[in-house]
Amino acid sequence: MARTDVELMLDVKAGDDSSFDFLLQKYRSPLINFLHRMVRDTATAEDLAQEVFLRVYRARKQYTPSAKFTTWLFRIATNLALNSVRDNRYAKLAVPLDAPVDEDSAPMELPAPVMRIDEHMIERDRAEFIRRAIASLPEKQRAAVLLHKYEEMDYGEIAKILDCSESALKSLLFRAYESLRVQLAPLVTQPVEQRAGEGRPS
Amino acid sequence: MKCEDVSKDLIAYLDGQANSSDRRRIEEHLAGCPACRSRAEEMRKVSVLLGELPAIEPSFGFDARVRQRVAAEPQRSWFWRLVPPPRPAFAMALLVALTVLVAKLPTHKTPATTTTVASAQQQEEDFNAIKNLGVLENYDALTKFDQMTETAAATPSAQPDGKAQQSDESND
């Protein structure tokens, strides 16, 4: 039977480093993706993710299972990401939506084998457009959307991570999605059926 | 129900996380409000669009770098491993126990204390002796002490005469 995250962390606390390795394998991708969407820089996201795991390891002896492990983990990650963004160390976050696309800033994404190169470029531009829309949100709204949409956390957990009430979180999310609706209007108003079928080989 | 009242719970409604009463309330409003209905539909599309973002994979050496940093963490000494957590509380309890222990130790007169008392007594005796010296009451002797000393040094041969004269005067 698979051990829960809390059980794994208690094992780490007892000195079992293999359990820490298990948690590392399980959460490295979600953490790196979350941090990448927060800071929009792959190297920085990996540095911050390393720091998150290091802090978890350092705090192992004081760990008490008072909350879900993911709440604790993403709270550390969110705080680190917010500090990084607020420190203005990642000035590229302030790039306006109409700025030219920086080819180097996008992470490497290989095209699907069935996709032609022009289709890949369209998909890549779309992805970049969406990334920029997310990046244009105020950082707390951005964190709320990322935890809500990509980590699929419930409102209670996100509220704990962001240190706010559930009611405040709902307002935060509404404002964030409202901004995204405006930012992504060119894509939103495009019929989904048209996008799904456009340019694809039959 | 006003449009503003819908907004707060609209995301939870679109997620399917709104409770039954909120869901009914919102559906009733959306049925009668084309603007909110359109907004809700566009927000649903935004959510679909966000799902299109591809995920990135950790770089090749990520795990190794984390393990390296973890391995480089300083290990606590054997003493700290024996100290039970929470350590600040333990340290405070230890400090209180030591303070109580020291306070309860029997008090002895140490040699240093005896010496100090003896020294104080000696100083008091010296002071009394000096206080009773007649010369200290003689203002002239004090103020002219230097002159008298110089005179005495300059005329050493006159001393016997002076003594005789003094003796004569005293006899008178």
Q: Which residue has the higher pLDDT, A199 or B106?
A: B106
Q: What is the pTM of this model?
A: 0.65
Q: Residue B48 — pLDDT band, cuts 50, 70, 90? A: very high
What pLDDT digit, counting tens, does each position of A101-124 carry?
A: 554 454 555 445 556 666 666 777
Verify whether the Cβ–Cβ distance A57 to B65 is below 8 Å: no
Verify whether the Cβ–Cβ distance A54 to B69 is below 8 Å: yes
C-alpha distance from A130 to closest chain B C-alpha (Å)? 7
What ipTM was reported for this prediction?
0.75
* Domain residue extents for chain B: 3-50, 123-155
SS3 call for A136: coil
Residues of B near A (Cβ–Cβ under 8 Å) read 7-12, 17, 39, 42-43, 45-59, 62-63, 65-67, 69-70, 73, 85-86
pLDDT, position B165: 44
Q: Which residue has the higher pLDDT, A86 or A134?
A: A134
Average pLDDT of chain A is 83
Structure tokens, B133: 């010296």
What pLDDT digit, counting tens, does each position of A146-160 carry?
A: 999 999 899 999 999
- The Cα B93–Cα A23 span in angstroms is 36
Q: Residue A92 — pLDDT band, cuts 50, 70, 90? A: low
Helix then strand count (H, E) for chain B reads: 10, 0
Substitution target in A10, A34, A46, A120 with the highest count of B β-carbons within 10 Å is: A46
- The Cα A151–Cα A124 span in angstroms is 22
- What are the structural domains of chain A? 5-197 (1.10.1740.10)
Burial zone of B77 (CB within 10 Å; 0-12 exposed, 13-18 middle, 19+ buried): exposed
Contact B13, B47 (CB under 8 A): no
Alpha helix positions (H), chain A: 5-13, 17-39, 42-58, 69-86, 117-135, 139-149, 155-162, 166-183, 185-188, 192-197
What pLDDT digit, counting tens, does each position of A18-35 carry?
A: 999 999 999 999 999 999
